[in-house]
Structure 1
Amino acid sequence: MRKDTVSLYQRIVGCGMSISCFVFFALSLAVPSGYSYGAAACVIFALAGVGLCRHKTWSTELKALCAVMVLMGLIWGLSFDGWWSWTGSDYLFKYWLAALCLGVAYQVGVHAGSAVWGCALGGAGALGIAAYQYLVLGWSKATGHTNAIQYGGIAMYLGIATWAMASFGAWPRRQSLLLWLLGGCGVLASLLSGSRGAWVVAPLLLAVVLGVMWHHGQGRRAMWTAVGAALCVAAMVIPAAGKFEARVDQAMAEVPLYWDHPQQGATTSAGQRLEQWRLALRMGAQRPLTGWGVSGVVVQKQKMVAAGLAHPSVLEYGHAHNEILDMWAKRGLIGVAVLLAFYAIPLAVMWPTRTRLARAPPVQRPALLAVRVAASLLPIAYFGFGWTQVFFAHNSGNIFYLFSLVAFVGCIRWLEKPQGVRPG
């Protein structure tokens, strides 16, 4: 194939991947299974562009990301109930397709605006659904098209990631203000979900953003970002302060109730989580290397409840309401090690070091810093959400994590190249 033909084909695939990634973020919470449309389009364009990856050199960072993605898919595929026993889920297939998309996105590039404005509009779409459910339907919690916890967590990430990109990107003032407004939509949608796990993680994400600013010599900007975020959150919380205070008070009352009266406390929201954690910790310790297996955990739970060693409330859910402890009980140390790598490797690859920022032309470095910070927040957010919810037990949690990584890798690659020779 002629060189100019290959270049044109690469641009077409790159354009398709950019549009797909934008749609992925923008529709992620706005419509039922919204994250699936952009992800499916990414797969289609990746399959079309797989030939572009031949005879190409992959960076060590990309190899590490692809490897941990493939390995994590294998872990989800194996049930650990016996040698080479399989769960029958399609996660293995999805993870390996996402790894393929990762490689193609790296080669063709993804326009940075796909992530920036995709996340921003994703937050706005989340608020649209939340406002309808909360104000029109009169629901006490906005659940979107998933459940309140998944919805609230992803919405919070979209909002704070947009704020981060607004703060670092050196945008014109109007665009920056618009990004702050749209980011606030995502945060407000999360608040309306009543998802306390997302509320707890939010200060951690903001602290990371401010820490990166200080590290890169942007102390004054960090101060104004902190003030802006505080004012935005206050404007959202104060009108419904009673509701948020009630949710916090409820948790503060349920935890000591569980410790003082376990049988009574295990029926509450916080108490049930604590009972699930206690049981998962104990079960994992019984088989520390490989765990009980996906089916074995269910059987062992029933036995322990029948023996009076756990409250019957633990049988209501198929997971432990804690990502690490759930993996510990089902797949032991092997699963926990891969899960931690699935958080740590993307964070290590995406983290905005000065050396990595120097790869981009000077004019692109603010945007590259913005995208790298938003990308770094993703594994941190998921790690935090995972303390009170098994995010990877749900399709939305898996697909959003996987294809957000695909989009961010493509955007970083696009920004690191001079304008005249950018892929895609």
Structure 2
Amino acid sequence: MPPTPAAPPAWLSTWMSAGAALFFLLMLSVPSGYSVGGGVLLLGGLAVWWTSRRPGCQHPGAEHTPGAQAPAPWTAEDRTLCVLLLAIFAVNALAVLWHGDSGKYLDQGTRYLLAVPILAGLRRIRLRLDWLACGLALGLFATAGVAAWQTIGIGLARADGFVTSAIPFADMALTMAFWCLMGAALAAFGRRWGWTTLLLAGSLAGLYAMMAAATRGSLVALPILLVLAAIALLRRAHLRPLLAGIAILAAAAAIALSTLPIGHIAESRYAAALDEWHAYTQQGDATNNVGSRLEAWKAALISIPERPLLGWGHEQYDAHLQELIEAGRVAPFVGTLANTHNQFVEIWLHQGGLGLVAFLALLIASFWYFCRRLRAPDPAVRVLACCGAALPAAFAAYGLTQVILGRNNGVMFFLVSLAVLWAAMRQAERDAAQAKANHRT
């Protein structure tokens, strides 16, 4: 058997817990805020690896510190997630080299590589979940403040935070709001009313930010999130607090939509989507939001079969797209778009079948690993599993109408959240097993 690695020093638990809290606190409320928490977590993950290189060596004082614990067993699920992260990076690097693309197209792919030490480090320390919950709620309060300042204070039609677009701003705000809501439910089950209030208020703040962005694509994920929540939470003993929370959220959303300007903006945006759909399907108008997306998908799906393995280089595809336009096969407006506005099509187009398979494998594996715990006996495990399953499911939904992982903020949010939620759920699972064993003895 290989030697047992040393337990990391206890201060690394504080360091990485602070990094996770900072990540969500600053994610949407500060320009490039995700870099702060992400950088802290990366340094912490590397420090965990460095300090555990000597097998079986216990760091002085670690056994007396609440943050310390014996190294968590490394499982096949952990290894699979790391292998899939590395595979996505490898295919991205291979495609860039094969096509002779600029090095800037390695940027997002490199984040998958850097996520491995973060995931590995988080699995070997004890996360302070109260810090994480506090960072999440306070981050959403700040996000709602930014949204209010942009829409009410300076008169923007749609809030976009500091992530360059209203679409990812709304998507990430909705995802964080859902996590806050799940945390509020867990706190209510334990009759921790202070935490329940804080997290429920954070969820409302996140929903406000999403509505202020008036983004239609976010709504695609809502049914998925509701189904996951129902599977994880619906128990007879939990029915009353759940109904109370749902009533509060419904009332707050109704008030916001009926009395605040964001309600009218959102309503007009959703009505416009139907008009744009009819304009494209009946008149061939590819210059509106819906029509341009559909035409971009059409151009990509024409091109993909020509280079199915590693796809098209970015410069190669730009030239090919002009040929399609000149031949009258796609509308000229497509040539003005930055990308295909679909995460799956974008990967398939520029990284071929290899890239698409690697990406789908990560989404499916992570979703399945979390879903396996949705009916766990321990409520903390169920809630964290639900939050974790919501991440790949929601990003798959968001990716239908945008390339959300083509931005640094989007890919960082996805990868760091995946690592944090996976480590937190495995920690809760281990704690529940230990509590059960102690109860038996």
What is the TM-score of this pair, normalised by structure 2? 0.85
Over aligned residue pairs, what C-alpha RMSD do you find? 2.6
AA partner of residue 324 (structure 2): M
Per-residue deviation, 1:301 = 1.2
**Contact 2:171 2:398 survives alignment (8 Å):** yes
Matched, 1:122 2:121: no
How many angstroms apart in 2 are the aligned matches of 1:278 and 1:142? 30
Q: Deviations 1:136-191 (Å, cap 9, x if unpaired)?
A: 10000101011111111111111111112212343412321221111110111011
**Contact 1:277 1:322 survives alignment (8 Å):** yes
Per-residue deviation, 1:51 = 3.1
Per-residue deviation, 1:87 = 4.2
Matched, 1:158 2:212: no
Per-residue deviation, 1:30 = 0.7
How many angstroms apart in 1 are the aligned matches of 2:107 and 2:245? 42
Per-residue deviation, 1:95 = 1.9
Q: Which residue of 2 aligns with 1:267?
A: 287
| Structure 2 counterparts to residues 382-393 of structure 1, below 5 A | 382-393=395-406
Matched, 1:11 2:10: yes
Q: Which residue of 1 aligns with 2:61?
A: none
AA partner of residue 11 (structure 1): A
Matched, 1:211 2:227: no
**Contact 1:343 1:379 survives alignment (8 Å):** yes
Q: Which residue of 2 aligns with 1:323?
A: 343
Change (3 A) 1:268 1:106: same
Per-residue deviation, 1:94 = 2.6
Q: Please, which runs of 5 or more residues in structure 2 have no aligned partner?
A: 1-5, 56-70, 436-441
| Structure 2 counterparts to residues 103-252 of structure 1, below 5 A | 103-146=120-163, 147-169=165-187, 170-171=189-190, 172-214=192-234, 218=238, 223-239=243-259, 240=261, 241-252=263-274
| Structure 2 counterparts to residues 93-104 of structure 1, below 5 A | 93-104=110-121
AA partner of residue 298 (structure 1): D
Q: Which residue of 2 aligns with 1:60?
A: 76
**Contact 2:215 2:266 survives alignment (8 Å):** no
How many angstroms apart in 2 are the aligned matches of 1:231 and 1:107? 42
How many angstroms apart in 2 are the aligned matches of 1:216 and 1:392? 39
How many angstroms apart in 2 are the aligned matches of 1:112 and 1:321? 35
Per-residue deviation, 1:392 = 1.0
**Contact 1:32 1:145 survives alignment (8 Å):** yes
**Contact 1:109 1:413 survives alignment (8 Å):** no
**Contact 1:205 1:377 survives alignment (8 Å):** yes
How many angstroms apart in 2 are the aligned matches of 1:347 and 1:368? 15
AA partner of residue 377 (structure 1): A
Q: Deviations 1:101-141 (Å, cap 9, x if unpaired)?
A: 11111011312224322222222121111011011100001
Per-residue deviation, 1:413 = 3.6
**Contact 1:27 1:34 survives alignment (8 Å):** yes
Q: Which residue of 1 aligns with 2:407?
A: 394
Change (3 A) 1:86 1:67: farther
Moved more, 56-65 or 20-29: 56-65
Matched, 1:71 2:87: yes
Moved more, 71-80 or 180-189: 71-80
Per-residue deviation, 1:353 = 2.1
Per-residue deviation, 1:235 = 2.5
Matched, 1:376 2:420: no
Name the SS for the 2:160 alignment partner.
Answer: coil
Matched, 1:255 2:268: no
Change (3 A) 1:243 1:348: same
How many angstroms apart in 1 are the aligned matches of 2:94 and 2:153? 44
Quick one: higher RCO (CA 8 Å, sep 6+), 1 or 2? 1
How many angstroms apart in 2 are the aligned matches of 1:261 and 1:81? 41
Q: Which residue of 2 aligns with 1:415?
A: 428
Change (3 A) 1:255 1:81: farther
Change (3 A) 1:398 1:385: same
AA partner of residue 43 (structure 1): L
Change (3 A) 1:123 1:352: farther
How many angstroms apart in 2 are the aligned matches of 1:148 and 1:108? 35
Per-residue deviation, 1:333 = 1.7
Per-residue deviation, 1:52 = 4.7
Q: Deviations 1:324-378 (Å, cap 9, x if unpaired)?
A: 11122222221211111121121122225268x45xxxxxx32232222111111
AA partner of residue 342 (structure 2): N
How many angstroms apart in 1 are the aligned matches of 2:225 and 2:374? 20
How many angstroms apart in 2 are the aligned matches of 1:38 and 1:343? 23
Name the SS for the 1:158 alignment partner.
Answer: helix
**Contact 1:73 1:95 survives alignment (8 Å):** yes
Q: Which residue of 1 aligns with 2:21?
A: 22
